[in-house]
Amino acid sequence: MALYALFEGAIPGTLSYAIIFLLPVLYIGYSLYLHPLAHIPGPFLAKLFPVPLWILTYRGIEASTLTAEHEKRGPVIRIAPNEVSVSDGAALAPIYISKGGFKKSENYTNFHIEGHPTLFSALDMDHRALRAKAVLPMFSTSSIRKHGWHTLKAAASQWADVLESAKHSSSSSSSSSSSSPRRINILCSARALALDSLSAYLFGRRYGALDELLSAPQDTPDPSFTADAFVNAFVAFGRFFNLPPPLFHLAESLAAHTSFTPQIHASIADVDAYAASIVADAAGANTAKPSGSDPQSEAGEEEEEEEEEEEEEGNTYQARLLRAGISPAEAAAQCKDLIFAGTDSTGMNLATIVFHLVRNPAVYARLRAEVLAMPDDDDDDEGADLMALPYLSAVVKEGLRISMANPTRLPRVVPVGGVTLPSGHFLPAGSIVGIGAHALHMNARTFGDPERFWPERWLGDGGGGGNAEMMGRDSVAFGRGGRACVARNLAGVELYLGVERVVRRGVLEGARAVGERVRVLEWFNARVVGERIDVVWGA
């Protein structure tokens, strides 16, 4: 009636009714037949409104639903009026790699931290470049192996201690006639390892998550660490990722006010305090200068000693940002973004690998034989021997493929001039296009029997199932191109060390997985249903 009132008096009644009727008809006709994406197949409602996509995302079934749609309609489908999904790995190059890839969509701004664009969420490449240049050297494989190997190995060994303690607790409970074996949430402890690893190497101060788990009383029913609730809360915001920023912030605010428990608030405050503390320490170290000394008069040996000390104390992630001119507030936000992303994704990937090792005794036995054949000593200072183990590498690759810590599309904006995809479909400038890990990793034509955990597929010895070149191309656990995960090398080392430590120590002997598979909500960051991946030891 409001629309009718607008025309009343200015346009005869019959004509106004006709206009009101024709407007939606014209919109539908344009969307279906005249829109630049009209030639792209897709569900009827998706061509008209973005709401169906928002609902799929909120329900946590977006990725698997789109994969099924691709199987039915082809490699390029329209999933919203101005958005398409692609399941063809050949399109990775033009979308994400060539010339730096297409610009990220505005949805990424939904993941700014306290208003600060992060290395992950920034759209302005010049803004990002200043920050990336300051910290990217820390993420090179050579730097990680040279400066972080022993630190990361120590954290992985402590994780094995945590699992050994949990094994004892679970086995003890199973020996009691009054109780069944106690379930141990390996997702929680894997996250603790990820957090302690990244914080020790990048920030120069271990968060202490593994210490929290080890210090928990043996009879604690479900031990956790302080930052775990912070990670879970941030994961949950991923269900709103596809909303336009104004709607996202409204949904974010409502969710925070209605679902944040005192535990979540306390967890966020703890992470805030940690981030503020490491930034404050770095700021103090950057401004502290020795007084009364003449640099020109120092002996060469003394200069070398000071340079080594600076390398140790002033070369942290946050110190590098501050020296690049980044404000302390933003540096803390960048650290919190790294805490969330590095803890959630690596924890998810590592826990999934352990789950499947427990469920596949033959895989576990083969991996353990390979690991035990390599001496456990410190001669391999930078991990070259460990990282070269073929079956361990295959297990890690298969774990990344099947885990899909980020299963959904990574949307990009088609640039001026448009793009013709390898499939022959033309996408005009301004349209949104994305490829999701689920659509690629669950493609049976690339990965035979894709739901099976099968490391042999990666060995290239004829015992796997799939085309090696296509499998390598279509493995996108960390994204692709210039905007791929900056911490992918660090995450890889954490996975190799974490798996090697628990397998070498025999911690998984006698373990049973709870459930047939890891069920997830397919948000931007996958959320395990119940936030648990459980194993038990004992009868």
**Are 153 and 115 in a shared domain?**
yes
**Are 340 and 463 in a shared domain?**
yes
The region of weakest confidence among 6-10, 261-265, 504-508, 529-533 is: 6-10
Residue 303 in any domain: the answer is no
Domain tally, the chain: 2
Mean pLDDT of 279-306: 56
Residue 293 in any domain: the answer is no
Vertex 174 angle, CA 169 and 177, to 5°: 130
Residue 173: predicted pLDDT = 61
Choose between 290 and 38: higher pLDDT. 38
Q: Is the pLDDT of residue 305 over 50?
A: no
**Are 214 and 79 in a shared domain?**
yes
Mean pLDDT of 289-315: 45
Give the pLDDT band of residue 9 (cuts 50, 70, 90): low
pLDDT digits (tens, 9 = 90+) for 423-445: 999 999 999 999 999 999 999 99
**Are 23 and 40 in a shared domain?**
no
Give the residue numbers of the binding site for heme: 485
**Three-class secondary structure of residue 485 per DSSP:** coil
Residue 310: predicted pLDDT = 41
Residue 41: predicted pLDDT = 98
Vertex 339 angle, CA 333 and 345, to 5°: 130
Name the β-bridge partners of 8. 11
Choose between 219 and 256: higher pLDDT. 256
Are 469 and 90 in contact, with CB atoms under 8 Å apart?
A: no
**Are 108 and 211 in a shared domain?**
yes
Average predicted confidence (pLDDT) for the chain:
90
Residue 507: predicted pLDDT = 96
Residue 292 in any domain: the answer is no
Residue 382: predicted pLDDT = 61
**Are 401 and 457 in a shared domain?**
yes
Q: What percent of the chain has pLDDT over 70?
A: 88
Residue 319 in any domain: the answer is yes
Residue 24: predicted pLDDT = 86
Distance of CA 155 to the CA centre of its chain: 20
Give the pLDDT band of residue 23 (cuts 50, 70, 90): confident
Mean pLDDT of 390-403: 98
d(CA 330, CA 292): 33
The region of weakest confidence among 99-108, 288-297, 361-370 is: 288-297
Residue 291 in any domain: the answer is no
Are 383 and 149 in contact, with CB atoms under 8 Å apart?
A: yes
Q: Is the pLDDT of residue 131 over 80?
A: yes
Residue 121: predicted pLDDT = 98
Residues 6 or more apart in contact with residue 27 via CB below 8 angstroms: 48
Give the pLDDT band of residue 307 (cuts 50, 70, 90): very low
Residue 349 in any domain: the answer is yes
**Are 378 and 498 in a shared domain?**
yes
Mean pLDDT of 341-359: 98
**Are 25 and 44 in a shared domain?**
no
Residue 162: predicted pLDDT = 96
Give the pLDDT band of residue 295 (cuts 50, 70, 90): very low
pLDDT digits (tens, 9 = 90+) for 444-493: 999 999 999 999 999 976 555 568 899 999 999 999 999 999 999 999 99
Is beta strand 83-86 parallel, antiparallel or unpaired with respect to 432-435?
Answer: parallel
**Are 117 and 165 in a shared domain?**
yes
Q: What is the CATH number of the domain that holds 273?
A: 1.10.630.10
Give the residue numbers of the binding site: 485
DSSP letters spanning 95-109: IIIGGG-PEEPGGGG
Residue 126 in any domain: the answer is yes
Residue 117 in any domain: the answer is yes
φ/ψ region of 258 (left if φ > 0, alpha if ψ in -120 to 50, else beta) reads alpha
**Are 503 and 387 in a shared domain?**
yes
Domain that holds residue 184: 35-284+314-537
**Are 388 and 506 in a shared domain?**
yes
Give the pLDDT band of residue 519 (cuts 50, 70, 90): very high
Choose between 522 and 288: higher pLDDT. 522
Are 389 and 371 in contact, with CB atoms under 8 Å apart?
A: yes
**Are 22 and 104 in a shared domain?**
no
